[in-house]
Amino acid sequence: MGFSPALWIVAVACLINLLSDLAGQYESSLFMPVSLRVISNEDREAVSAFRQGIGAVLRIVFQSSGAVLIGVMTYQQLAFFNAGTFLVSLLITLSIRPALQKLLLANPLSQEVKKDKASNLLLDMKKSLVDSYQAVQGIPVLKAVILVLTVLNALFVALSPVLILSMKEMPSFAILNPTMTIAANSIIYLVGSILGSLLTTSLFKDVSIARLTKWVVYLPIFIFVSFYFRFIHGVFIFSFVTAVLAGVANPKISALIYRALPENQLATISAGIATFFQLGMLVTQGLVAVLVVMCSARTISFIFFLLSLALLVYTRRNVASDIENDTQ
């Protein structure tokens, strides 16, 4: 390993990782208004799709290379190698900084001028969230899409636990073997995401995020029906289609947010949307954790089938009218 194992090393590593994640989120928020000056309005969807596709490809490459490096390097060497990747990121950022500064000088950021008074962090956060909520309320299609996709994300959280539980209860519910099935599940999502990114600028170029949302609400029904009837190939087929549509939808959502919302609220609203998604996923994870102990895989599949059916009915009755306005 290169050093004596100790609990304090793990604690320090976790703290550094937390700070790194926070810094990364902060940097992403800061870069949003800068990207508006680099990318034209009509190119944002294509650029977002390209970025998403490249990210998925790099995840495959890095995960594969990581598995290889673990076999040939010590943990200490891996730690220094990982630190070196952050150094490379810093050097790239410093190299493009002068060009970004010129863009900002030519087109300064719009900032709200505040009166000099005592600042309260909690009150400022509350005001930002309220302003963000009001901004989204003024865009019915964005509000409707976010609501539907939040529930969809929450439903899809159950897929991996139900898959593992199904293989435990029925060993034949697998492709070759359980290990291969779990690996294939991850690969299908990455490949589907890459394909969706490519199709965003071709086959689905003129398809709106509203229409995609109306299509995708049917997919969890087919997935959980496949789980219930122990049809593993159906699970993978519909999961792949879901990944493709998700790969198409994500760039379109990003482009819609960039076009529709004020520049000085982009970071706050995007963070709020991400938090909304994560809360839905957290609730579902807690529900699945309880159901896995109490119910069989088929029972859980039936429960989530009913939830998926309820989402479809709700979308058709209450959300479709708002979504339809965007397609006209």
Domain limits for position 220: 121-321
Give the CA radius of gyration of the chain.
22
Q: Does residue 16 fall inside a structural domain?
A: no
Residue 119 has pLDDT above 60, yes or no: no
Predicted confidence (pLDDT) at residue 251 exceeds the cutoff of 80: yes
Q: Report yes or no: 217 and 152 within 8 Å, Cβ to Cβ.
A: yes
Spatial contact of 284 and 154, defined as CB atoms under 8 Å apart: yes
Residue 321 scores a pLDDT above 80? no
What is the number of domains present in the chain? 1
Distances (CA, A) of 25 to 19, 30, 62, 308: 10, 9, 21, 31
| Domain contains 86 | no
DSSP structure string for 108-136: PPP-PPPPS----HHHHHHHHHHHHHHHH
Tell me the percentage of the chain whose pLDDT exceeds 90. 20
Instruction: Report the chain's terminal Cα–Cα distance, integer Å.
Output: 62
Question: Is residue 219 in a domain?
Answer: yes
Give me the percent of the chain exceeding a pLDDT of 70: 87
- pTM of this structure: 0.78
The answer to whether residue 190 sits within a structural domain is: yes
pLDDT (0 to 100) of residue 129: 63
Best-predicted range by mean pLDDT (109-113, 252-256, 307-311): 307-311
Give the integer Cα–Cα distance in Å for 146 and 133: 12
Q: Is residue 52 part of a domain?
A: no
Establish if 176 belongs to a structural domain. yes
More confident residue, 59 or 91: 91
pLDDT of residue 127: 67
**Could you tell me the sign of the dihedral formed by the alpha carbons of 314, 217, 262, 123, in that order?**
positive
The per-residue pLDDT for 307 is 93
Q: Can you give the pLDDT at residue 272? A: 74
- Answer whether residue 46 is part of any domain: no
Find the CATH number of the domain harbouring 162.
1.20.1250.20
Confidence grade of residue 224 (pLDDT, cut at 50, 70, 90): very high
Task: Please indicate, yes or no, if residue 66 is contained in any of the structural domains.
Answer: no
